[in-house]
Chain A
């Protein structure tokens, strides 16, 4: 079945460590997104990519980095510069650059990152 796969589901990070969250989609979508969700709160956009080898900062990009070397993959690295990384991270994709023309955003199951 087509969909978005995020891994790992749970990840623990030590202080000063960089960690990478994986996101793979087999929907043949051009656009991919990373969102952060803090407990009891809404979603905030970290980075998005409209096409391979291109990506743009979202509202809270500081302390994060991404790459888009392949259409199906959009990994997110949480660097040591991100001072409060404990959160639920959601990867998403859509056919085009967004849903204003009716393109739905599809979400992965999410990854929990905890600083220990």
Chain B
């Protein structure tokens, strides 16, 4: 069965410093992995996705994530945090279970950016 663990419920960084949001997953099949961002009272926006191509995935707004199969991880990083990055971030895993796709959302990590 699939599962997603976001190791930190809350992360706080200073503006201009690196961001690391951690995600570990379990999957019986070759998964697709996604990171979404949600600003307050808004829907979810796709940041980036991994679908068995390059293991280092670049997304929007300077974010990137690396798929590490041996560690079953898909951590999200950004070299320099901006105030506008403050939001909720969700790691998502999907693979083919029986005859349909099953999508699992992680519990989310709240990112605060300190001026």
Contact = CB atoms under 8 A, between A and B. Distances in A.
Interface of B: 29, 31-32, 34, 36, 41-46, 49, 51, 90, 92, 94-96, 100-103, 105-108
Q: Specify the main secondary structure of chain B where it touches its partner.
A: strand
A96 B43 CA distance: 20
9 contacts: A42-B105, A42-B107, A99-B34, A100-B31, A100-B101, A104-B46, A104-B49, A105-B103, A107-B43
B43 A100 contact: no
Q: How large is the interface on A (under 10, 10 to 19, 20 to 34, 35 or more residues)?
A: 20 to 34
A101 interface: yes
Q: Specify the main secondary structure of chain A where it touches its partner.
A: mixed
A6 B36 CA distance: 19
| Ranked 10 nearest A-B pairs via Cβ | A98-B101, A107-B43, A102-B51, A107-B44, A100-B101, A100-B94, A42-B107, A43-B105, A109-B43, A99-B94
A101 B103 CA distance: 12
A32 interface: no
Contacts of A4: 43
A50 B100 CA distance: 10
Given A6-B43, A42-B108, A107-B45, 19 more contacts: A43-B44, A43-B105, A90-B43, A90-B44, A96-B101, A97-B100, A98-B101, A98-B102, A99-B32, A99-B103, A100-B96, A101-B51, A101-B101, A102-B49, A102-B51, A105-B34, A107-B44, A109-B43, A112-B41
Contacts of A98: 94, 100-103
A41 interface: yes
B60 to A, nearest CB: 12
Contacts of A90: 43-44
A99 B107 CA distance: 19
